[in-house]
């Protein structure tokens, strides 16, 4: 598989001579991007950067639950300090990073941040089952969206749309990154879903063609569905069964597919992807020839809940390369992703945009 290079005066191009490293890397994907350098500090709610318990006066007697929370918080903070020190000592040793990750503490921190976000909306909490908690540019985040970030939950399309919007506004369209980053475009899940169902003659009317015409790579979060496409009800189709990530390369007219639950001889899945390619091929102002589907190896999920998390992790990891690396490899077979840590990082990102 050919790799990609970024060139200062023309952007992205195929580089057949680049031989990427095969060293194993452990990451949550999301933290690959330098969010802290680009997200404005005034958006950050410092309350969510630490896990300190609610303020109590010295004379107030703590309840058993408050004491338990205080002990848990102290343990988490101690563990975080040890982890940071350990990582500094061992530099970039992926074995050390993986060994210091504590799933139990990550789940505790996830739930604490979630509870703090919800607690900031006491009025709404008492009057509605669901309510808006954050606003990230054009994407509104609701309580139900936060619940999907918690462990054991399946990412919905708004979770993916949130991170896609944040990537676009923070890096790709911000004007703060290097030239030609707009050659990478991200389509929301809802748009990809509509492309699969609309008549081919109307597809270009759905898409942001002005942006896509400048692009070389288009990220497509695809909701794979078990039912035959012709029998689908558009009102319920977004529920889907499984998320995969597609990257349409207009440099070589290939649709690269990352599937974290890869199944050999998946006839229905292949048929859905072929149908998507035909719809994209109908965009004569975008695609010049026939699209070839290429399935790439990637880390596999270990449960039935993390497919959407993998779409987000892989997207962030690759966007970091597209925005900041001279050479880009689409080969992720040596990358080990941590979905629980990614859920935690995503919840922290949401906390920066509490409305």
pLDDT in the model for residue 175? 87
Give the number of other Cβ atoms within 10 Å of residue 203's Cβ. 20
Phi, psi of 226 (to 5 degrees): -75, -35
Average pLDDT estimate for 20-28: 91
Domain 28-37+102-119+130-226+240-352 classification at class level: alpha beta
Average pLDDT, integer, range 285-309: 95
Model pLDDT for residues 166-186, shown as the tens digit of each residue = 999 999 998 889 999 999 999
Output phi, psi for 26, to 5 deg: -110, 130
CA–CA separation, 135 and 137 (whole Å): 6
- Assign 227 a pLDDT band (cuts: 50, 70, 90): low
pLDDT at 209 exceeding the cut of 80: yes
Q: Please report the pLDDT score of residue 232 as a whole number.
A: 57
Please tell me which residue, 53 or 164, carries the higher pLDDT value.
164
Better pLDDT: 292 or 61: 292
Q: Which of 301, 325, 12, 18 is nearest to 184 (CA)?
A: 12
pLDDT, tens only, 90-136: 444 455 455 588 999 999 999 999 999 998 876 555 567 899 999 99
Instruction: Report whether pLDDT(241) > 70.
Output: yes
Q: How high is the pLDDT of residue 61?
A: 62
pLDDT of 93 reads 47
What confidence score (pLDDT) does residue 19 get? 84
User: What average pLDDT does range 262-281 have in this prediction?
Assistant: 85
Q: How far apart are CA 25 and CA 179, in angstroms?
A: 28
pLDDT band at 73 (very low <50, low <70, confident <90, very high): low
Residue 234 pLDDT level (bands cut at 50, 70, 90):
very low
**What does the pLDDT average to over 45-53?**
48
State the pLDDT confidence band at 355, using cuts at 50, 70 and 90. confident
Which pLDDT score, from 0 to 100, does residue 52 have? 42
- Token pair of 191, please? 């748009």
Tokens of 344: 């935690």
Please identify which residue in the block is written with the tokens 């010295």.
58
Average pLDDT of the residues of the chain:
84
Q: Which helix (H) or strand (E) holds 249?
A: strand 242-249
């Amino acid at each position: 598989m050919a790799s990609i290079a970024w060139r200062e005066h023309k952007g992205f191009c195929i580089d057949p001579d680049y031989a990427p490293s095969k060293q194993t890397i452990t990451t949550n994907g999301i933290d690959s991007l330098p969010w802290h350098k680009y997200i404005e500090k005034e958006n950050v709610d410092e309350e969510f950067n630490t896990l300190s318990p609610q303020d109590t006066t010295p004379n107030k007697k703590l309840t058993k639950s408050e004491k338990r929370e205080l002990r848990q918080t102290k343990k988490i903070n101690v563990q975080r300090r040890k982890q940071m020190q350990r990582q500094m000592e061992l530099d970039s040793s992926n074995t050390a990073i993986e060994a210091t990750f504590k799933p139990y503490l990550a789940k505790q921190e996830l739930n604490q941040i979630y509870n703090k976000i919800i607690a900031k909306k006491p009025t709404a909490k008492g009057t509605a089952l669901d309510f808006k908690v954050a606003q990230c540019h054009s994407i509104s985040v609701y309580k139900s969206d936060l619940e999907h970030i918690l462990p054991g939950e399946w990412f919905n399309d708004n979770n993916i749309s949130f991170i896609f919007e944040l990537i676009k506004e923070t890096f790709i369209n911000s004007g703060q990154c290097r030239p030609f980053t707009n050659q990478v475009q991200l389509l929301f899940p809802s748009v990809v879903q509509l492309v699969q169902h609309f008549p081919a003659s109307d597809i270009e009317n759905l898409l942001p063609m002005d942006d896509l015409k400048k692009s070389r790579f288009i990220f497509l979060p695809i909701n794979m569905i078990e039912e035959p496409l012709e029998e689908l009800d558009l009102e319920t189709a977004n529920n889907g069964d499984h998320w995969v990530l597609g990257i349409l390369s207009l440099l070589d007219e290939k649709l690269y597919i990352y599937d974290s639950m890869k199944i050999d001889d998946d006839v229905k899945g292949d048929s859905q992807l072929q149908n998507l390619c035909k719809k994209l091929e109908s965009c004569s102002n975008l695609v010049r020839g026939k699209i070839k589907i290429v399935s790439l190896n990637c880390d596999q999920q270990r449960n039935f809940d993390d497919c959407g998390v993998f779409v987000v992790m892989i997207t962030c990891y690759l966007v970091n390369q597209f925005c900041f690396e001279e050479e880009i490899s689409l080969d992720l077979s040596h990358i080990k992703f941590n979905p629980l840590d990614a859920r935690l990082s995503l919840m922290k990102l949401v906390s920066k945009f509490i409305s």
